[in-house]
Structure 1
Amino acid sequence: MAAACVAFFLAAVLAAAAGGEAAIVEHTFVVSQMKLDQLCNDTLVTVVNGQFPGPTIEVTEGDSVVVHVVNKSPNGVTIHWHGVKQQLNCWADGPAMITQCPIQPNKNFTYRFNVTGQEGTLWWHAHVSCLRATVHGALIIRPRSGPGSYPFPKPYKEIPLVLGEWWDTDLLELERKLANGEMKEVPTSSTINGKLGAFNNCSGVIEDDYILNVEHGKTYLLRIVNAALHAEFYLKIAGHIFTVVAADANYVKPYTMDLIAISPGETVDVLVVADAPPGKYYMVAMTVPSQWIVEEPLMNTLVISRGIIHYNNTSKGSENTPVLSPELPVDDMGNISFYFHGNLTSLRMPSVPTSIDERIFIDVDQGYICKEGESPCRTAVTRMNNISFQLPTSVPLLQAHYYNNISTSISMVREFPSSPPNIEFNRGNTMKATSMRRVRYNTTLEIVFQGPPGETSYLNPMHLHGHDFFILAQGIGEYDPNKDVHTYNLVDPPVRNVALVPRFGWTAIRFVARNPGVWFLHCHLEKHVPSGMATVFVVEDGPTLDTSLPPPPTDYPTCDGQSNKVSYE
């Protein structure tokens, strides 16, 4: 057995010895295609175990997870365990051609990882093309000492609430369009736990609402996941209030509000007390356009799905009363997300590093490149510091890094710069490259993401694999290093794995690179990934064996000449 597997099971044994109750949680994921009848169409989709969303993985902090992925679909696939830190275990992280080749049709691969030092709601999803639209599910990590040790009132029940999108189209074709700059595709509907909701109908056939049955007076923990490809969601329940208690599997100081803003890739945990008069209440998930133009802020059609909160002890006489609907925001919607994220602070006072080793300023915007014979350049791409990321085509970056042959096995490699070529936003000079930045072990980095501050802008939920980070501040307009540094929260900043860069604004984060490996940094809007809004941090080994990346597992997938199944070209 390879050293990586030995290290994995040794960690499991040590965890069991320390806690006395740690377990190995084992699942089998069969990836296959099936037809789902939605909106009068039989749409062929890729799913796990015949479910949409896929199965929820439930573990206790300190457990080890083993997931056998059996690929019975016609396309290569990988699974990313979104938010799991994968300490010394980059091989199990999952992004295609970053840490591994895809698992080819009729092939298997087993992911093994620990969930030590993390509690709360995370999720898993495919990390090949647009397949995560239907290949995804929740990952719940409960405290080792039980639900009674939550830093908030123990809930009566815990409910995973996966918000997503329904695409009545071929997802691989959608990926091809996005990679070629065709970024105006929109989903047919949004979904709540796979249900499209009765707002949608076709030829008189109304889609099912998601129904949550509750008991009056009981408290419910909603574990909300935004699994959508493109949409930020605003979630609201008529007659009820949310108490936010966690985000991205990190506890926050509780605060109450009647609306949740959650961007693609994020998770939010909220308490809801069923204290309204018995009856039925609509839960509405409304998409918010990712791209805004000042003169035309609602340039994309809003997509709404709904569920129903149904009180079990509702009297028969009140069953026929109308379902109450929440009042939805229609004005100033961009500011709702900004203030929601700005209200988050950490419950457990973190130790924020004050000494910075490297500062990186990243423009996240759009540019253009020339295809052969094209003049002027009209192919739209997204980019970071004027580099539009290109996936490797034959060897995963992690494999090339481990065997020290990146320069010889991967073409178009370029060092990712600390700042854009110039601070002024421009639409030219875009380079297509496999950009990467080498970082010494134990380096403290501060990154400022700057979104387009002009008349056209869009939100960018930036996800860093393998690390949590402190979100120090956010702002509207162009970042001013002399002024805005004084707004940093160095006392109780929220700890996240997704940093939302607001429309027309910026966000500053800070983290310590103590996890050797190759870690993807990318926007979690799917339309921005194949078009290039990504880069890679290569965290070098530390000075000891237990700060160095172990070798790959024995069943590590090989490309076998099939890398074209994930190529964005």
Structure 2
Amino acid sequence: METSTSKLLGFLLFFFFYHCQACPHYKFVVKEVPYTRLCSTKNILTVNGQFPGPTLYVNKGDTIVVDVYNRGKYNITLHWHGVLQPRNPWSDGPEYITQCPIRPGAKFRQKIIFSTEEGTLWWHAHSAWLRATVHGAVVIYPKIGTSYPFPKPDVEIPIILGEWWKEDIMKIYQDVERYGGLGLTSEAYLINGQPGDLYSCSKPETFKLKVNKGLTYLLRIVNSIMLDSLFFSVANHTITVVGSDGNYLKPFKRTFIYICPGQTIDVLLEANQSPNHYYMGASVFSIAVAGAYNNSTTTAIVEYNGNYTPSSLSVFPHLPSHNDTEATLNFTASLRSLADKEHPVDVPMKINTHLFYTLSMNTPCKNQSCPDGAWRLLASVNNISFINPSIDILQAYYCCIYGVFGTNFPDFPQLYFDFTADYLPMEWEYPQLRTEVRMLDYNSTVELVFQGTNLLNGSDHPMHLHGYNFYVVGLGMGNFDKDKDPLMYNLVDPPLQNTIHVPKIGWMAVRFKANNPGVWYMHCHFDRHMVWGMDTVFVVKDGESPEAKMLPPPADMPPC
């Protein structure tokens, strides 16, 4: 750690840098406003009164400042999902990981440092389940003087996939946190804040994308949903996938995409069909038991401009069945980095840190009855169910406050077994409840294999890593074979992601270089799994040079 004198000097330098007036400033006011959906009105938490919230537009490499004013009644934090924030975890946002929450009536200035990201990302609340309504898109244009690696689209449209509960979302969250249950499923999915005309009282407000025949539209698709992955399609149209998670891909054509919570997918839509009204639609992918997911379909309408009489029934898209795991894997396996001169691939080849993390559903009710006579669900990584501390880990690490977290997160599970077996003994389902982190040396090269298990009938898991992109070098079903599966890795053009879907009883292998010092959260983006403990933290140590050290904190960090 740095000396107190050098910390003070760094703090003064960073204070002036952090408050530079040259950076574009935005004002985000978090407040409750009434919204009407599905025949009823309720107050929801919003940013600037908008749902979804405002879209931020930046260029690659920009730095912006967002002043966050909490005018709501709950503590809140904001996370800039997929923004790497080089050396600046102080503005990353996850509650009790990199900051304590912004209290009602308080303000926090967050500096958002963009670097290599280009394409579509998003921002959202990262406290409790407030991101259900507090979220918005981030559009990152190419650096000034450069262009897209594909023909410039005529129009660009953010498409934000969300969901709506009639029940107060904080009540649902508190019940899940207290009892470990599934929580209520949402009543509707949304496209740009609207359920679509298959739901009651929704036809007049259904989102419409009006298009001109012959033009090309870039749809910047964000999955902001709390609990479900989705299939998305546009009837009678083939879409071209060109990017994901703020990185470009080798273009490929599909009739549908698969997108898990936290992911973004950029697609080109060519308006090349006969003038008519066509549905765009999204429906769930879930391997959960019936009743544990919303099995409805949200729609919007692609409406061609011109003088014509539309069909009496809009043309509906074909979407895979709700449990089509093969469709999800085939789509994910189609992602390939662009890997050209302007967008090179830099996959770590020599790995010095090998990690193998099992992702499991658990219960802690060993030899005792659970609250209300029901099994209380937990979730774990390597059989450790993460417990949030009362002081954020970043502050504790930076200020050398001991006893807040442990540094003994295991590299491998303590117990190896057939992770994908149909029957697994109950004694394997009891996790340890701890606040443990994994320390990483600066510039270490990491291979992390996520292994989905079938404990408590298992689940799929969209895993997200803050502060980093990672190369997805391999995937498959069954138990990972450390001798055979690496022989099939894609080390030439693997996709560069910040969120990836780990299938139930399957595995994903990712690689990254630990060159961003700081405290960085990793968690499942199904919010109930995160509440249950499927999360952990990487602490990346400082390097030797000044450019390899974490920046000091801003002056107005929210107090614990």
Aligned to 1:145: 144
Aligned to 1:249: 246
Is 1:303 aligned to residue 303 of structure 2?
no
Give the superposition deviation at 1:172.
1.7
Counterpart of 2:363 in 1: which secondary structure? strand
**Does the CA contact (< 8 Å) of 2:378 and 2:532 recur in 1?**
yes
Q: Counterparts of 2:12 and 2:267 in 1: how far apart (Å)?
A: 37
Counterpart of 1:378 in 2: which secondary structure? coil
Aligned to 1:69: 68
Q: 1:12 to 1:300 in 2, by over 3 A?
A: closer
User: Which of 385, 410, 416 lines up with 1:423 in the alignment?
Assistant: 416
Q: 1:374 to 1:454 in 2, by over 3 A?
A: closer
Q: 1:206 to 1:377 in 2, by over 3 A?
A: closer
Match runs of 1:501-520 below 5 Å = 501-520=502-521
Aligned to 2:363: 368
Q: 1:12 to 1:131 in 2, by over 3 A?
A: closer
Give the superposition deviation at 1:405.
1.8
Give the superposition deviation at 1:529.
0.7
Give the superposition deviation at 1:70.
0.5
CA deviations on 1:475-497 (whole Å, 9 max, x unpaired) are 01111111111111011100000
User: Which of 316, 336, 348 lines up with 2:327 in the alignment?
Assistant: 336
Residue 535 of structure 1 aligns to which amino acid in structure 2?
T
Aligned to 2:23: 24
Q: Counterparts of 1:84 and 1:471 in 2: how far apart (Å)?
A: 18
Counterpart of 2:198 in 1: which secondary structure? coil
Q: Counterparts of 2:283 and 2:431 in 1: how far apart (Å)?
A: 35
Aligned to 2:485: 484
- How many residue pairs end up in the alignment? 538
Give the superposition deviation at 1:12.
11
**Does the CA contact (< 8 Å) of 1:76 and 1:102 recur in 2?**
yes
CA deviations on 1:26-47 (whole Å, 9 max, x unpaired) are 2100001122111222222111
Counterpart of 1:113 in 2: which secondary structure? strand
Counterpart of 1:177 in 2: which secondary structure? helix
Counterpart of 1:132 in 2: which secondary structure? helix
Counterpart of 2:315 in 1: which secondary structure? coil
Q: Counterparts of 1:371 and 1:531 in 2: how far apart (Å)?
A: 16
Aligned to 1:567: none
Q: Counterparts of 2:31 and 2:359 in 1: how far apart (Å)?
A: 35
Give the superposition deviation at 1:377.
9.3
Q: Counterparts of 2:9 and 2:101 in 1: how far apart (Å)?
A: 20
Give the superposition deviation at 1:371.
8.8
Aligned to 2:384: 387
User: Which of 227, 232, 236 lines up with 1:235 in the alignment?
Assistant: 232
Residue 530 of structure 1 aligns to which amino acid in structure 2?
V
**Does the CA contact (< 8 Å) of 2:407 and 2:439 recur in 1?**
no
Alignment RMSD (CA, Å): 2.3
Q: 1:391 to 1:12 in 2, by over 3 A?
A: closer
Aligned to 1:201: 200
Aligned to 1:398: 394
Q: Counterparts of 2:288 and 2:367 in 1: how far apart (Å)?
A: 31
Counterpart of 1:224 in 2: which secondary structure? strand
Q: Which structure 1 residue ranges, 5 or more long, are not aligned?
A: 17-22, 560-569
Aligned to 2:171: 173
Counterpart of 1:103 in 2: which secondary structure? coil
**Does the CA contact (< 8 Å) of 1:476 and 1:506 recur in 2?**
yes
| More displaced stretch, 303-312 vs 449-458 | 449-458
Is 1:108 aligned to residue 107 of structure 2?
yes
Q: Counterparts of 1:245 and 1:2 in 2: how far apart (Å)?
A: 44
User: Which of 349, 358, 361 lines up with 2:353 in the alignment?
Assistant: 358
Q: 1:372 to 1:391 in 2, by over 3 A?
A: farther
| More displaced stretch, 378-387 vs 326-335 | 326-335
| More displaced stretch, 445-454 vs 99-108 | 445-454
Q: Counterparts of 2:9 and 2:355 in 1: how far apart (Å)?
A: 37
Q: Counterparts of 2:407 and 2:114 in 1: how far apart (Å)?
A: 33
TM normalised by structure 2 equals 0.91
Aligned to 2:258: 261
Residue 257 of structure 1 aligns to which amino acid in structure 2?
R
Match runs of 1:433-448 below 5 Å = 433-448=434-449
Q: Counterparts of 1:145 and 1:163 in 2: how far apart (Å)?
A: 29
Q: Counterparts of 2:253 and 2:78 in 1: how far apart (Å)?
A: 34
TM normalised by structure 1 equals 0.90
Match runs of 1:178-189 below 5 Å = 178-179=176-177, 180-189=179-188
Q: 1:331 to 1:377 in 2, by over 3 A?
A: closer
Aligned to 1:555: 556
Residue 345 of structure 1 aligns to which amino acid in structure 2?
R
Question: Percent identity at matched positions?
Answer: 40
Aligned to 1:566: none
Give the superposition deviation at 1:274.
0.2
Q: 1:400 to 1:301 in 2, by over 3 A?
A: closer
Q: Counterparts of 1:382 and 1:341 in 2: how far apart (Å)?
A: 24
CA deviations on 1:301-345 (whole Å, 9 max, x unpaired) are 4121100000112x24x2354311112323762211111011001
**Does the CA contact (< 8 Å) of 2:442 and 2:514 recur in 1?**
yes
Residue 322 of structure 1 aligns to which amino acid in structure 2?
L
Residue 553 of structure 1 aligns to which amino acid in structure 2?
P
**Does the CA contact (< 8 Å) of 1:453 and 1:505 recur in 2?**
no
User: Which of 337, 340, 353 lines up with 1:346 in the alignment?
Assistant: 337
Give the superposition deviation at 1:181.
1.5
Q: Counterparts of 1:5 and 1:330 in 2: how far apart (Å)?
A: 57
**Does the CA contact (< 8 Å) of 2:361 and 2:459 recur in 1?**
no
**Does the CA contact (< 8 Å) of 2:385 and 2:434 recur in 1?**
yes
Q: Which structure 2 residue ranges, 5 or more long, are not aligned?
A: 1-7, 420-424
Q: Counterparts of 2:429 and 2:165 in 1: how far apart (Å)?
A: 33
**Does the CA contact (< 8 Å) of 1:442 and 1:513 recur in 2?**
yes
Match runs of 1:285-324 below 5 Å = 285-289=282-286, 291-292=287-288, 300-313=293-306, 315-316=307-308, 318-319=309-310, 321-324=312-315
Aligned to 2:496: 495
Give the superposition deviation at 1:503.
2.5
Give the superposition deviation at 1:373.
6.0
Q: Counterparts of 1:9 and 1:479 in 2: how far apart (Å)?
A: 49
Q: Counterparts of 1:491 and 1:360 in 2: how far apart (Å)?
A: 21
Q: Counterparts of 2:319 and 2:351 in 1: how far apart (Å)?
A: 43
Aligned to 1:540: 541
**Does the CA contact (< 8 Å) of 1:414 and 1:433 recur in 2?**
no
Counterpart of 1:340 in 2: which secondary structure? helix
Q: Counterparts of 2:412 and 2:187 in 1: how far apart (Å)?
A: 38
Counterpart of 2:330 in 1: which secondary structure? helix
Is 1:218 aligned to residue 215 of structure 2?
yes
Q: Counterparts of 1:436 and 1:502 in 2: how far apart (Å)?
A: 24
Residue 147 of structure 2 aligns to which amino acid in structure 1?
S
**Does the CA contact (< 8 Å) of 2:385 and 2:432 recur in 1?**
yes
CA deviations on 1:32-78 (whole Å, 9 max, x unpaired) are 11221112222221110101000000001122111000100011100
Aligned to 2:532: 531
Q: 1:321 to 1:57 in 2, by over 3 A?
A: same
Is 1:456 aligned to residue 430 of structure 2?
no
Q: Counterparts of 1:39 and 1:103 in 2: how far apart (Å)?
A: 32
Q: Counterparts of 1:372 and 1:232 in 2: how far apart (Å)?
A: 35
Residue 380 of structure 1 aligns to which amino acid in structure 2?
L
Residue 302 of structure 2 aligns to which amino acid in structure 1?
I
CA deviations on 1:248-307 (whole Å, 9 max, x unpaired) are 011110000100100000000000100000111000111222x446xx7x9644121100
